[in-house]
Amino acid sequence: MPELPEVETVRRGLVKLIKNKTIKKVKVIYPKIITGDVGQFEQQLHGKSIQSIGRRGKLLLFNFDQGLTMISHLRMEGKYFVKSSLEPLEKHTHVIFEFVDGSQLRYNDVRKFGRMQLIKTQQVKEVPNLAKLGPEPLDNQFLLVDFIQKLAGKKKAIKPVLLDQTVVAGLGNIYADEVLWLSKIHPLTPANKLSPAQISLLRQQIIKELTAAVAAGGTTIRSYTDAFEHSGKFQFDLHVYGRQGQPCQRCGTEIVKIRVAQRGTHFCPNCQRVTK
């Protein structure tokens, strides 16, 4: 699943490839990808130009002229490709944005879980998915005082709290395991049992890890590729995700995989102990 670093890498690629392009026609092949009326979606984008492409958490925001924004959630396997309209369609292409210059932005999604929604730009912050989203994992936005306060009110285990996007935006299953290992926190530790020192370290690791992953262009876990079809370069730096049965890089204890809130979760039973 693309997490913040992968989505940011896709965003940067798309800015280079399609910014300022004008849409000639939109064709939705698989209607369920679109939230809302499909006919209206196709019609409203006709003749619009892409002015900028933003991101909040794992959501892409395509900003068009005349105050329209398309929110795009890639979910599990969503991908964008930019191709000439002369090139044959790939299998699993569900939405085609054809530009006046003859190129196309194609949305491809093997599992069809991704979603797109067209709204007025001024209403972006009110969309439920965005309104409840926590801060971006940046030093000047993701503040320690707020992080401590939010975790104090949560009895749930820290791993699902990190995944739910309301405390901090952008972490998915891979980076949640990584930052918990880096902070020596057991994924099942109740969020409200973490000490201020643990929370402070966790915050630093979240910022550091996601910043480094963005700089490296995302991970290659699963079938992730950016808009240029390049894979990410970050795979060398995963410490615990996918390493069950291998020795912990810190203490040599075998990494264990368990399920936490339906998600495969990797940790070191020696370095990461539950805080009681």
- Binding residues (CB under 5 A) for Zn ion: these are 248, 250-251, 253, 268, 270-271
196 among known catalytic residues? no
- In the set 11, 58, 159, 243, the catalytic residue is 58
d(CA 25, CA 47): 8
C-alpha 240: how far from its chain's center?
Answer: 19
Residue 2 annotated in active site:
yes
Q: Measured from the CB of residue 256, what is the shortest distance to Zn ion in angstroms? A: 10
CB of 261 to Zn ion, least distance (A): 23
Treating both helix axes as pointing N-terminal to C-terminal, what angle do 196-216 and 4-18 enclose, rounded to 10 degrees?
Answer: 30
Report residue 115 as tokens: 């979603």
Token code pair at residue 197 = 């020192």
Q: Are strands 256-260 and 103-108 parallel, antiparallel or unpaired?
A: unpaired
The tally of CA atoms less than 13 A away on the side-chain side of residue 63 is 13
Residue with smaller CB distance to Zn ion, 43 or 253: 253
What's the closest the beta carbon of residue 216 comes to Zn ion, in angstroms?
A: 24
| 10 residue type, one letter | V
Given a contact cutoff of 8 angstroms between Cβ atoms, the answer to whether 192 and 167 are in contact is no
Q: Is 88 a catalytic residue?
A: no
* DSSP 8-state symbol, 25: E
Minimum distance between the CB of residue 209 and Zn ion, rounded to whole angstroms? Answer: 17
Total number of residues shown for the chain = 276
Are the C-beta atoms of residues 104 and 33 closer than 8 Å to each other? no
Residue 58 is among the residues annotated as catalytic for this protein: yes
Positions annotated as catalytic residues are: 2-3, 58, 263
